[in-house]
Each structure stands twice: as structure tokens, then as C-alpha cells.
Amino acid sequence: MTFKILFINGPNLNLLGQREQSQYGTISFDELRDLCVKKSEELDIKIEFKQSNIEGEIVTWIQNAKGIQDGIIINAAGFTHTSVSIRDALQIFDKAKIELHISNIYSREDFRKKSLISDVVTGGIFGLGSNGYILAIMAMHKILINENK
């Protein structure tokens, strides 16, 4: 069975490899996308890999995923700490959702330690670098297999 996953990346993630390499590593956004596509294909998952710096666009993607996507993996980036709208859209999406962060938001500045979305997702991956993306795909695959037994 082929699963469909919406993979959402929030603001500034398009600049991976160019910004704060001590926090986010040296991999570029395009390289990360390619790794995720490759892993997804290995698991017979079709991913839609998106990035936006615009909060409303992300909300619309989540709303449009209802009835189409089997799950959502989201790195909301800075919107994690500020967006009630993204949180509400995720809460309405009634399938598996994984929150993902390259850095460990809980070991950073105080304002980053509060996630508005953690309580409406199935689970989270924090601080494992770009490897977290591959782990999120694998975890989502396992969740979806278990849900569809």
C-alpha cells in the first residue's frame, strides 16, 4: 500500500546549509529534500515536500491535506512558538502528525522552549539534525502500517 505524506517546512528552512550551521548543519534544503524523497520511495511512500515562509500558506496546506494525505510531518520552525493558526489547523487534521525540529528546541533560548503544536501531534523528533527527517519518515511509515492493519 502506498501512503501519502505531506512534509511541511516552515520559515527560513529554505536557507539550510547557509545559516547557523552549528544548529542546523551543512546540508542544503535541496539535499535534504532529495534524501527524504529517496527514503520515502524505499518505503513506498509518496511525499509532497513543501517549504514556506508564509503562515497562512502553511495553514492552507494543512487544511487541504484533509481527505488526501495519510499523515503530516511538520517542521514549523519559528511558527512552532507563535502560530495558533497552524496549531488549530493541525488539530483539525485527524490523522497521524509528527512534529520535527533539526535542533533541540528545549535546550535553546527560553522563547523556543514552548511549542504550540506539541499537544496536537502524534509525536515529535527534536535535536537529531537532518537525520531526524529520515527518522520521521520511518516513524510515520510504522504508524500508518499499524493504523491500516
- The residues that are catalytic are 24, 101
d(CA 47, CA 94): 18
As to burial, measured by CB atoms within 10 angstroms (0-12 exposed, 13-18 middle, 19+ buried), residue 141 is buried
d(CA 110, CA 143): 32
d(CA 129, CA 144): 24
What Cα–Cα distance (Å) separates residue 39 from each residue in 7, 28, 42? 13, 17, 5
